Structure 1
């Protein structure tokens, strides 16, 4: 098991190296450079000043020299500076990273709170009216685009019913560190988290339903019933336990889905996280921030697949590579 984990970590190194090169080359291929956004924000400034800054910052150097400096700074913990916000990127990411983390965590909790009971009900009573309703919900949630569903939820529960705030991560009038501040953060977090969770349940529900249906037909379940084991214990000790274990392997892939969805969710709900910063940085051509965010999202996605592989290797040791 240890060899498997070490090997998977070693595989991550060339993946991250290739990812960093692709990110940097794509950023260089985009129109403009790191100072273009600043030039657009200050149209009355002399273009010669920006040209001098480009030369001073090495933006006119060959791409491989710029890439070497960028990677070298990353290894030293220097993320660079945002040319739009005029602050270090590390300081810019601080609060936003925390917001995205809590949004992702709460979304993940809601996803499993919704998906596991629905998958169990659909699998145990398959072909019933409850199963047909759950499968219908699954089809709809799979078909509807995330940004469309998010806009509908925002319109109904934000603008229509006024149950939730329509933007921000906390009420600015609440004093930081108080219990009211904590409740305000939760209140702002609930609607985007529930929205993302409702569309994140598709794979877990379907996989759990199919696993339960397949497990009900296995020989060890028939043997347990033949021995007179009560039906409740047959499901709790044999069917559910064996069906839920493989679902845990999808945890990492759910993390990847949530990371990708956070970009749309945070933008639509005006939630100040990394996803919203990513979109605004692209619009403002703040390429130094874009590079770091794409690298961070890529790393988290690779880490999510690694977590899934490790969990799956624990559940099913046959997949381990010796």
Structure 2
């Protein structure tokens, strides 16, 4: 482990540079596919706004399409969009009357707060439940936690969110049913932090429920595999107590696949946040993307997809680097 954490700085920089070069084609492919696939969808922003205004005449539609740049050939629209991206400009949301990047940056912290809280809860409880299940293999704790994992895999996120709302908001009236803050009162300081934390409880539990099941099963299988290795048998032969063996030897070496899974789960967390933010009216990027679909706000939807894809790619790069630092068997070029 010590050797792995002392990689030369030059080798780490070369490794990062190589990975960055490798992901550039991926980013370009994502941009191209997002742009042209969204253009294949029926309807556009001009049709939606004209329909809401109740004046969908050909002249009014033509005026709106000219205003939004939708009357130009698709190739010209694409090259203009690429030119904006190279200038770090994600376009303008005519629906919200503000630049797309500014709109995303106002919602991204809310989604990050929800995602990171859910991820930390899922990893902590998943590792704990998985370790208990592995240590009590074949006994009743293992059976209970295995049943919980199966239920977690099979239950849709939106159903979990709705049931939590019914129980804790409608029946017990303990927690707010949606939103991020209490709109009836203005809180400051610690009261504002407590208000946000109170509104986070249900969406965080809903989003983390599925991933707790994943980490429970992953930790259990990884620990059972490590328990059969020679160095664990040697530790038992030396008379070391079962708990130190489980924590210092088995669990510590079983964490590597969990590190990998944590980085990969950020992409699925983003997709799950769309559902949870919609159910709980959480003002994040998921809800923003959901609204953009129904409003046919293509510029906004393209911006959200590009920003989300970029975050997933960066998280995968960070995961690869952390994995290389943790595992001495991985050779950094």
TM-score (norm 2): 0.90
Q: CA deviation at 1:73?
A: 1.4
Alignment match, 1:207: 218
* Stretches of 4+ aligned residues off by more than 6 angstroms: none
Which string of whole-angstrom CA distances, capped at 9 and with x for unpartnered residues, describes residues 47-102 of structure 1?
41441342354322222211111121122232222222222223322332221111
Q: CA deviation at 1:232?
A: 2.9
Contact 1:174 1:181 in 2 (8 A): no
Contact 2:161 2:202 in 1 (8 A): no
Contact 1:37 1:84 in 2 (8 A): no
The answer to whether the aligner puts 1:4 opposite 2:20 as a matched pair is: no
Alignment partners' CA distance in 2, 1:292 and 1:66: 15
Q: CA deviation at 1:136?
A: 0.7
Match of 1:273 among 277, 284, 292: 284
Deviates most, 172-181 or 125-134: 172-181
Match of 1:59 among 49, 67, 70: 70
Q: CA deviation at 1:237?
A: 2.1
The answer to whether the aligner puts 1:124 opposite 2:106 as a matched pair is: no
Alignment match, 2:246: 235
Aligned residues: 322
Q: CA deviation at 1:127?
A: 0.9
Deviates most, 85-94 or 180-189: 85-94
The answer to whether the aligner puts 1:196 opposite 2:235 as a matched pair is: no
Alignment match, 1:88: 99
Cα 1:278–1:235 change in 2 (3 A) is: same
The answer to whether the aligner puts 1:216 opposite 2:232 as a matched pair is: no
Alignment partners' CA distance in 1, 2:180 and 2:270: 18
Deviates most, 276-285 or 148-157: 148-157
The answer to whether the aligner puts 1:75 opposite 2:86 as a matched pair is: yes
The answer to whether the aligner puts 1:134 opposite 2:123 as a matched pair is: no
The answer to whether the aligner puts 1:185 opposite 2:190 as a matched pair is: no
Deviates most, 46-55 or 312-321: 312-321
Alignment partners' CA distance in 2, 1:7 and 1:40: 50
Alignment match, 1:254: 265
The answer to whether the aligner puts 1:42 opposite 2:42 as a matched pair is: no
Deviates most, 264-273 or 167-176: 167-176
The answer to whether the aligner puts 1:172 opposite 2:183 as a matched pair is: yes
Match of 2:116 among 105, 127, 130: 105
Alignment match, 2:24: 13
Q: CA deviation at 1:152?
A: 1.5
The answer to whether the aligner puts 1:31 opposite 2:38 as a matched pair is: no
| RMSD over equivalenced CA pairs, Å | 2.0
Cα 1:261–1:117 change in 2 (3 A) is: same
Alignment partners' CA distance in 2, 1:57 and 1:246: 47
Cα 1:202–1:309 change in 2 (3 A) is: farther
Contact 1:282 1:290 in 2 (8 A): yes
Alignment partners' CA distance in 2, 1:91 and 1:228: 61
Which string of whole-angstrom CA distances, capped at 9 and with x for unpartnered residues, describes residues 240-291 of structure 1?
2112233222221221221110000000111111111111111111111111
TM-score (norm 1): 0.93
Structure 1, unaligned runs of 5 or more: none
Structure 2, unaligned runs of 5 or more: 1-10
Alignment partners' CA distance in 2, 1:5 and 1:126: 41
Alignment partners' CA distance in 2, 1:280 and 1:4: 39
Which string of whole-angstrom CA distances, capped at 9 and with x for unpartnered residues, describes residues 202-231 of structure 1?
222112111211222211111122222233
Alignment partners' CA distance in 2, 1:126 and 1:253: 28
Q: CA deviation at 1:320?
A: 4.8
SS of equivalent residue, structure 1 residue 165:
coil
Alignment partners' CA distance in 1, 2:170 and 2:102: 33
Deviates most, 248-257 or 45-54: 45-54
